[in-house]
Structure 1
């Protein structure tokens, strides 16, 4: 019952606030509207194709989407992120085939591989498993880095279209409550109309 009374009182205050006639003359009210309308915000023009283009360019050639977004410093990072696991993929694949060929030659009856006297057949099988797992993991990391390259170009193209002028700022605030002596932290949203 108390909730219904509270809601009814709240609605009555809202209705009273909206129907109340302020003492501002009509001419001044029109001037206020004109000043608000004359102020406009300048944001970067929205180009819906820009994120798709950036993602497509990065898919065709890694780093090209970053160049499209004019983030040239990210191009070497993209190649390092893709090239490092690719290098380990190639190295592990070569090692895997080396141990595999040695094991196959031993199964065929030849005893002239490079691991004679160093590794037995069980060690060759374990080495094959290890390098195959490392090769597969390196391939997954290469694919993940390639996909992240595309996602980075797409997200940055989206973020380039946001308005980052000083007219709209979000600043941290620090307040002191003098009655309790406690400190309060928060955020302040400031909008400057010139």
Structure 2
């Protein structure tokens, strides 16, 4: 029972950290050839003006990473609501609930085995250690539960910190729009200067 509780707590922490890290990244898979022949060709000159098209933002509303960070620090999950990532809120509080459950269980067991230790060592015949644990065993068990109690506190701190980091990163990426129609094409290329200059070109479509 003791080892399984410890493993479950560590698993819960690992899953939460992996989930938040995964939630921040979008992976685009592209196919590239095993080998590409590179031919030295003369390059032409492209002239013209480059127009930077700004992302349309409602001037009456600017999404603030600072505000999202402060909100999540004040109340976990509030920054996620501000970022419109509502589905993350139950995950955050599920993590807190799991850490709270094991913290409470560890505290109860510390008190339980402390009482048994006292019953074994106080010399009072009315107090009985009704287990087969010796004082050495009881001391070891108490120390183990204290370590797991500390891990429960650390779990609270990690979940709280991840909640703040997640809100901050999501707020910074709030206006970042990646089109679903992203493709990387490999096309034949012929130099406009020398007709004999051929090769391949890569075209990234956004």
State the TM bucket, normalised to the shorter chain. Answer: 0.5 to 0.7
The answer (yes or no) to whether the contact 1:52–1:154 under 8 Å persists in 2 is: yes
- Indicate which of 20, 40, 52 corresponds to 2:53: 40
Query: Do residues 70 (structure 1) and 84 (structure 2) align?
Result: yes
Aligned mates of 1:68, 1:58 — CA distance in 2 = 9
Give the superposition deviation at 1:44. Answer: 4.0
Query: Do residues 145 (structure 1) and 159 (structure 2) align?
Result: yes
> Which stretches in structure 2 are left out of the alignment for 5+ residues?
1-41, 189-200
Structure showing greater Rg:
1
* Structure 2 counterpart SS, 1:109: coil
Give the superposition deviation at 1:111. Answer: 4.6
Q: Which digits, 9 at most, give the CA deviation of each residue in 1:85-131, with x for residues without a partner?
A: 12101210111122123213433323555742432212211110111
> Which stretches in structure 1 are left out of the alignment for 5+ residues?
1-12, 23-28, 177-185
* Structure 1 counterpart SS, 2:154: helix
The answer (yes or no) to whether the contact 2:120–2:128 under 8 Å persists in 1 is: no
Q: Of the two structures, which has the highest relative contact order with CA contacts closer than 8 Å and spacing of 6 or more? A: 2
Give the length in aligned residue pairs.
152
Task: Give the match for residue 204 of structure 2.
Answer: 189
Aligned mates of 2:169, 2:154 — CA distance in 1 = 22
1:116 to 1:91, Cα distance in 2 relative to 1, 3 A: same
Query: Do residues 94 (structure 1) and 108 (structure 2) align?
Result: yes
Task: Give the match for residue 171 of structure 1.
Answer: 183
Higher share in helix: 1
TM-score, normalisation: structure 1:
0.63
TM-score, normalisation: structure 2:
0.60
1:68 to 1:123, Cα distance in 2 relative to 1, 3 A: same
Task: Give the match for residue 143 of structure 2.
Answer: 129
